[in-house]
Structure 1
Amino acid sequence: MDAESVLIFVLAAIAVVAVVRWVAGRTGLPAAALLPLVGIGYALLPGPNVTLDPHIILTFVLPPLLYSAALDSSMLAIRRNLRTVVSLSVVLVLLTALLIGTGFAWFVTGATLAAGIAVGAAVAPPDPVAALAVGRRVGLPPRIITVVQGEGLLNDATALTILSVAVAAATGGGFSAPAAFGQFLIAAAGGAAVGAAVAFVVRLLSRPLSGDPMLANAVSLGTPFTAYLLAERFHVSGVLAVVVAGLIVGHHAPRAATGAGRLQTSAVWRLVDFLLEGLVFLLIGQQLPEVLRGLAAYKIGTIVVAVAITAGVVLLLRPLWLLLTLLVPDALQARRSGAPVAREDLVRWTVRDVVVLSWAGTRGVISLGAVFTLPLVTETGAPFPARDLLVFCAFVVVLVTLVGQGLTFAPIVRALGLRADGNDQARLRNEARSASVEAALDALDELEEQEHDDISVSVIETMREQLQTRLSRYRDRIDLLRDNEDVTGPPVSPQYEAALHVRRVALDAQRNEFLRWRDAGWLPDDGLRVLERELDHEERLLPDRPTRR
């Protein structure tokens, strides 16, 4: 394809992604599940198609997506749920790869244990994009969101390390369990060390660059690629380096970055996520012709058995593992405790939690990118064992989980009635707001005692009155939330909604007046942009939904 054709194709792809996102917003269906279906439809049409390049995916797409997800994650919340996160992102990934590898070695003609472990490692890590998009929309409890986020951040490093070891064994490099375990530890520890070092440098740069949001954004965009490439140069886990760097930088960003920098960085990464996620999910569906091309050499029975083993282990092992690692330990702990403690204080996880976490195991582009990295031939020159069949199995698992589970995730969550306590979350936010205003009032008192010559008492009093008004509003809101603890979701405040309506009417009137001045030639466009930016920041402070403030 020439440059003009490539540009047309990219613009068409962006247009498709935008339309699908609009449809997803109107229907409530996840775009990550709809885009592969659109990609399959395009792949079946005559004309040029795009073949997924695994090295481009792993080098240019995976690092920014992981880094953005890490920036939005909570390092403290992941630490609190570290046992569950490690259980899913390390142990479950390893078990999935081993079980699929064993099944291929026993029941699939032409496949070897190493080749089966390779495809098992490729399909083992869930891609939580679709599940998180739906989960946030339907209001999943924070503990489930945290586990899904943490698992999605860490499992790729485990899977790709297992994949590299399995490929080395399958291509003639031999396999040693102690050596493989040592390689995994070195890759993980080295990747974490590189990520921490990159985060340290970024934190050093954040202070001097905080006054220029453009430079801060440039550093932010370059950070995931720097961490990934540096780790790969040292032959350690680039994925884990990106994740660790993102978690550390995101944890310290509230102290290091300015308000303008945070707003701009957040907007930039939202756009990056939108474009990259949309394009890669669209590419998944377009791989159908490439995947089907190599299946002619296999019998139907062999294909059915291979797909059944891969999909069966992926779909059945996850809920079983969650049952054994979450429900059983809590039940045993509750049985051993003789104190008359309420059941909800003893059992942290419920059957509903396990069902939702099980259904959140959607696979995505990482699985396809990983399986496409399987070499065509071994070191001896022989074809890689059952490569085309392995690629097809991975493709089927991605479609089954991404489309099947992705489209049904929201109805299942609603049917289970598993929602976060919006009342409690709103009360916590308003208590934090009240505490921040009280801290500001204390700072004003200290400022007044210092008797600065350049600060008049009237200025301090004006600010104190504004803060007292705000504090009174927050405290009234807290009292309203406490009086309605049994109500599902935060209670509706007619006075607050009326105040919001009045503020929006006033902002619209100001914006229209600025435009009238500009159109009359009294206000230049650069002045209009400055004044519009002021109104935009005021409007951004208003909640989208008053009942969820």
Structure 2
Amino acid sequence: MSTHSTLLLVLAAVAVIIVVRWVAGRTGLPAAALLPLVGIAYALLPGPNVGLDPNLVLMVVLPPLLYSAALDSSLLDLRRNLRIVVSLSVVLVLLTGILVGVGFHLFVAGATLAAGIAVGAAIAPPDPVAALAVGRRVNLPPKMITIIQGEGLLNDATALTMLSVAVAAAVGGKFSFPAAVGQFLLAAVGGVAVGAVVAWAKRLARPLHADPLVSNAISLATPFVAYLLGEALHVSGVLAVVVAGLIVGHQTPQIGSGAARLQTSAVWRLVDFLLEGFVFLLIGQQLPEVVRGLRQYDTSTIVIAVAVSVGVVLLLRPAWLVLTQSLPRSLHTRLGGIAEQDDSDEPGTARQVARADRNARRLTSREVVALSWSGTRGVISLAAIFTLPLTTHDGSPFPDRDLLLFCAFVVVLVTLVGQGLTFAPLVRKLGLRADDTDRARVRNEARSAAVEAALSRLDALAADEPDSAKAVDITRTQLRTRLARYRGRLDLLQQSESPEVPTSPEYETALQVRRTAIDAQREELLRWRDSGRLPDEELRVLERELDHEELLLPRRTSS
């Protein structure tokens, strides 16, 4: 394909991604479920098609997507829900791979156990992009978001390590269960260590993060450094990326300038948008290749293989969740124990304890149903299965490679499109919804505490530096006005008994007045520019100031 054709194809893909995003916004359907359908439609048309290069996906696409997701996650929330996250991302992935392998060995004519475990490992890890997009749109409770997000961060490392062991056995290498366990533990521990080292090195580069452009360059390079270093040391590069992202995300408020953080966040949102769009389009375009090699199999063999793959994926997840949630309550208490009631008189203590208890408790039946349906598979499953070698050590074809490719493709389509499109109606039917009032209350409590800390610091500054008294008084007046607004909003939230955030006409009017003032300033600056009184360079500086001020205004009353 010529450079000109490649560029046109890329631009066409970007246009499709934008249109699908617009359609998804209008219809409420997840773009991650719509894009593969568009990809299939394109694959059926005459003309050039794009093949999936698994090494490109695993080395170029996967690290930034995982790193960005890790930056957006909460290390503390993940630790609070670590038991169920590990249960889903490690134990369930291993069980899925093994059961699919056993199913292939028992029911699919001629299939080997190792080949079955290989496809099982590929289809075992859910890709949470579609589920998270839907979950956030329908306001899924934070604990559910954390579990889905945490599972998606950690399960790829488990699946890829399991896949490498299965492939080694399938191509004729010697298989040893103790050696396989040792390899898995080494990959996991080594990946965690490499990720921690990369995060530590990034923290050492703290002085460089004051420059937004340099900070962005370092941030974009970090996931690739972590992945390549992990792979070079023969440990889990995927886990290294995730651990680095979690630690860096936890430390980000302490590193760099506010401008650097705002710009970095915007850059990663754009990277996510484009990479996710491309990979979901790419999924659909693999249809011709995965179908091409099925001529050698009879229909019954194909149906049985697909039934085993899809059946294990769809049925094992809810069965595992029900089983683990049925264990004695003592086994559900997270490490360190559930927070106990505090007898202190500090404001908000009882609510903090209640929130900690909600995080620690076992899942409800409605949450189990929702989590059971959130296991959508994605491009990682296809990239993993496409890494299967064409031949074994003795030169013979890899056993049932074409059948394994087709099974993985069907599982991805069934879960991504079927579960992705029905997840939002299911969540609404279950009535699972975050408590907006509680979340808004927490934010306003934190805002009030932050302003009070600033006022206390200003008092100390005025005492130590009398010459700053006038500037301190001006800032103190501004902070006290802000504190009064936060406290008024907090009083309204504390009186509310509804999970919906109460509306306040005065608060909404104040927001509208501030937006009107910003719009007027922006319009006047444009008039100055258009009349030749203000250079474009200066306009961009002033416009950026207004944009930051506008960004501070809440979009809805949930703040």
Q: Fold-level match, TM-score > 0.5?
A: yes
**Match for residue 428 of structure 1?**
442
Aligned to 1:75: 75
Percent sequence identity is 72
Opposite residue 40 of structure 2, the aligned amino acid is I
The equivalent of 1:536 in structure 2 is: 547
1-side partners of 2:278 and 2:311: how far apart? 28
Amino acid in structure 1 at the alignment position of 2:290: V
Aligned length: 536
Q: Deviations for 1:455-502, whole angstroms, at most 9, x for unmatched residues? A: 2x2221111111111111111111101111x22311011111111111
Tell whether the 8 Å contact from 1:75 to 1:247 is kept in structure 2 after alignment.
Answer: yes
Corresponding position of 1:360: 374
Alignment of 1:118-197 (within 5 A): 118-197=118-197
| SS of 2:235 mapped into structure 1 | coil
Question: For residue 313 of structure 1, what is the aligned residue in structure 2?
Answer: 312
Residue of structure 1 in register with 2:487 after alignment: 475
> What do the CA deviations read for 1:2-57 (whole angstroms, capped 9, x no partner)?
00000000000000000000100111110000000000000011111001010000
- Specify every segment of 5 or more residues in structure 1 that has no aligned partner in the other structure, as ranges: 335-341
| Most deviating of 74-83 and 154-163 | 74-83
Q: Give CA deviations for 1:141-200 in whole Å, capped at 9, x if unaligned.
A: 111111111110000000000000000000000211101000000111111111111111
**1:194 and 1:231 in contact (8 A); partners too:** yes
Structure 1 letter corresponding to 2:515: R
Task: Find the counterpart in structure 1 of residue 532 from structure 2.
Answer: 521
The CA distance in 2 between the partners of 1:330 and 1:8, in whole Å, is: 58
> Offset at 1:347?
5.1
Deviations 1:57-111 (A, max 9, x none): 0000000000000000011111111111111000000000000000101111121
Q: How far did residue 437 of structure 1 move?
A: 0.4
SS across alignment from 1:374? coil
Matches within 5 A, 1:411-422: 411-422=425-436
State the partner residue of 2:513.
502
Quote the residue 1:45 is aligned against.
45
Q: Give 1:429 deviation, angstroms.
A: 0.4
Partner of residue 476, structure 2 = 464
C-alpha displacement at 1:331, in angstroms? 9.6
The whole-number CA distance in structure 1 between the counterparts of 2:503 and 2:326 is 36
- Pair 1:22 & 2:33 matched: no
* Larger displacement relative to structure 2 (292-301 or 469-478): 469-478
Give the counterpart of 2:412 among 393, 398, 408: 398
SS of equivalent to 2:40:
helix
- Provide the C-alpha distance between the structure 1 equivalents of 2:386 and 2:397, rounded to a whole number of angstroms: 14
Residue 338 (structure 1) aligns with: none
Cα deviation code 1:262-300 (max 9, x no counterpart): 100000000000000000000000000011000000010
> Within the alignment, does 1:252 sit opposite 2:263 as a pair?
no
**Cα distance in 1 for residues equivalent to 2:25 and 2:555:** 15
1:257 CA drift (Å) = 2.1
SS in 1 for 2:210: coil
Cα distance 1:93–1:399, how it changes in 2: closer, same or farther (>3 A)? same
Amino acid at match of 2:22: W
Tell me what 1:262 maps to: 261
For the residue of structure 1 that corresponds to 2:171, the secondary structure is helix
Any idea what the Cα deviations from partners look like across 1:510-535, whole Å, max 9, x if unmatched? 11110101110111110111110110
Aligned amino acid, residue 127 of structure 2? D
Larger deviation, residues 69-78 vs 324-333:
324-333
Give the RMSD, CA atoms, in angstroms. Answer: 1.4
Is the contact between residue 20 and residue 35 of structure 1 (CA under 8 Å) also seen in structure 2? yes
Q: Which amino acid aligns with 1:163?
A: L
Partner of 2:455: 441
**2:542 aligned counterpart, secondary structure:** helix
Measure the CA separation in 2 of the matches of 1:127 and 1:420.
22
2:396 to 354, 368, 382: 382
Task: Show the counterpart of 2:227.
Answer: 228
| 1:238 match | 237
Asked whether 1:273 is paired with 2:272, we answer yes
Deviation at 1:452, TM superposition (A): 4.2
**1:333/1:505 CA distance change after superposition, 3 Å:** closer
Amino acid in structure 2 at the alignment position of 1:358: S
Provide the secondary structure at the position in 1 that maps to 2:222. Answer: helix
Q: Within 1, Cα distance between the matches of 2:67 and 2:313? A: 26
Note the C-alpha offset of 1:128: 0.1
**Structure-1 separation of matches of 2:288 and 2:209:** 48
Do the aligned residues in 2 keep the contact of 1:330 with 1:349 (CA within 8 Å)? Answer: no
Distance 1:11 1:66, change over 3 A: same
- SS of 2:125's partner is coil
Aligned equivalents of 2:425, 2:270: Cα separation in 1: 28
Aligned-partner Cα distance in 2 for 1:246–1:452? 44
Cα gap change, 1:279/1:333 in structure 2, threshold over 3 Å: closer, same or farther? closer
Question: Which stretch has the larger CA shift, 324-333 or 244-253?
Answer: 324-333
Distance 1:502-1:101 versus aligned 2 partners, 3 A rule: same
Secondary structure class of the residue paired with 2:52: coil
CA shift, 1:229, in A, is 0.6
* Counterpart AA for 1:360: S
Matched AA of 2:293 = G
Distance between the aligned counterparts of 2:236 and 2:330, measured in 1?
37
Aligned to 2:338: none
Q: Residue by residue, what CA displacement relative to the aligned partner does 1:362-387 show, whole Å, maximum 9, x if unpaired?
A: 00000000000001110011111100
Distance 2:361 2:444 in 1: 29
* In structure 2, C-alpha distance between the alignment counterparts of 1:45 and 1:242, rounded to whole Å: 38
1:257, 1:240 → 2: CA distance? 25
The answer as to whether partners of 1:303 and 1:389 remain within 8 angstroms in 2 is yes
